[in-house]
Amino acid sequence: MTATDPHPAVRQPAAPSPVFATAVDPARWPDVAAPPKSSFARTTVTAAVLRGTLGRLPVRVRYPDGTTAGQGGPVLDIHDPKAFHTRVGRQGLIGFGESYMAAEWDAPDLIAVLTVLAQNAAQLIPAPLQRLRPLWATRQPRVQRNTPDGARDNISRHYDLSNDLFALFLDDTLTYSSAVFRGFPASWDLLAAAQHRKIDRLLDLAGIGAGTRVLEIGTGWGELAIRAAARGARVTSLTLSREQRDLALRRIEAAGLTDRVRIDLRDYREAQGTYDAVVSVEMIEAVGAEFWPEYFRTLDDRLLPGGRAALQAITMPHDRMLATRDTFTWIQKYIFPGGLLPSVEAVAETVRDHTRLRVARRHAYGAHYAETLRLWRERFTERADEVAALGFDDTFRRMWTLYLAYSEAGFRSGYLDVQQYLFTKETPVR
């Protein structure tokens, strides 16, 4: 325990042990070696539209023949124009991401290029095509709906990849959500303390202390449950990831807190009992818009009158959420199947219309997430050889790099934000 940490110390959790004894099955990821087939006309039109769009942005696009486009700024190198335009013409932003995975384009400063694109997200597609979005945009596949069975499959595809993979780029707390720093720029040696600061703020918001009965929706690798139990709370935590649950249980045992923490492999809709406090960190992003009312009703139903719920959520602008909520995206295809970011307005409306909860407090701190993601991305890049040794090939590593960079750029541009909410449930007047 340090002078800046007012809460009880716990024993250091055990280091993660390997989960995959053999290489990861490459069949889990689509082959992006060759672009999809497309007509000459479609590819030609796409090239013209993209040159026009990129030509208006503060970037410098370089082509192999020496020509350039854009108003100047961070450089985007297109190594294979035909393949790049074919992919984008066939699959839009999914094709843009797949083209990066296939090394058909790159950027000396990937974050800067993606930040420009995020800042101009609404202008990337010409207005006439925006109006025709329902005709050309790929819709989310029904197989990714977050029904109880679908949610299990979706969660497993990301969180059951490999505990060892996540341990390579997360800090020792294995916390996979935004930290709260004291100042910028952040450094790696301060990340664990910043994660504890974030967790403690949420526990304080929810009023968690000795004897508090806590429901956590979304266990992660158990750090919040450990932190709450160290305060004397009794925690029931729910997760759909077997790999996370197994490691979280080992970490809780190593911390000497098995008598205060229970982890159930259970969907939030299967939660039972009532609690003084409910906490959920960056789990709503995996719920899906059609199930947001059910998710918030669960918080309401599980919370005792007079109780408090603390929620951390990544949010996006309301107009962009409405425009893209049915569109199948690169992130949904490769990183978070079934995922969708809510807007602040969507959270407020859902809570108001479907629960007895009240939004008592909301705090946004997106700049902290940009720094958190930068540290993860740099660590992932530094340990690329160790990622490869786990069986993840170059295509996967480029995919994961783009995911981390794309997310960081979203927060740096202000397109994305992260919120900490406090919801209260009033005691009925007799």
Query: CA 410 to CA 209: how far, in whole Å?
Result: 35
Q: CB under 8 Å to 291, separation ≥6 — which residues? A: 146
pLDDT value for 135: 53
Is 291:227 a contact under the CB 8 Å cutoff?
A: no
Q: Across the 430 residues of the chain, what is the mean pLDDT of every consecutive 10-residue run?
A: 44 43 47 77 87 91 95 96 92 92 97 94 64 63 91 94 96 98 96 98 98 98 98 98 97 98 98 98 97 98 97 96 91 95 98 97 98 98 97 94 98 97 82
Query: CA 237 to CA 266: how far, in whole Å?
Result: 9
pLDDT value for 38: 77
Domain definitions of the chain by residue range: 31-137, 144-424
CATH (one of 3.90.1300.10, 3.40.50.150, 3.30.1490.20, 3.20.20.370) for 144-424 = 3.40.50.150
Q: pTM of the full predicted structure?
A: 0.90
pLDDT value for 140: 80
pLDDT value for 91: 87
pLDDT value for 40: 83
Task: Measure Cα distances from 256 to 11, 40, 197, 212, 251 in Å.
Answer: 7, 65, 22, 18, 9
pLDDT in tens, 123-164: 666 666 566 555 556 778 888 999 999 999 999 999 999 999
Q: CB under 8 Å to 183, separation ≥6 — which residues? A: none
The alpha-carbon radius of gyration of the chain (Å, integer) is 22
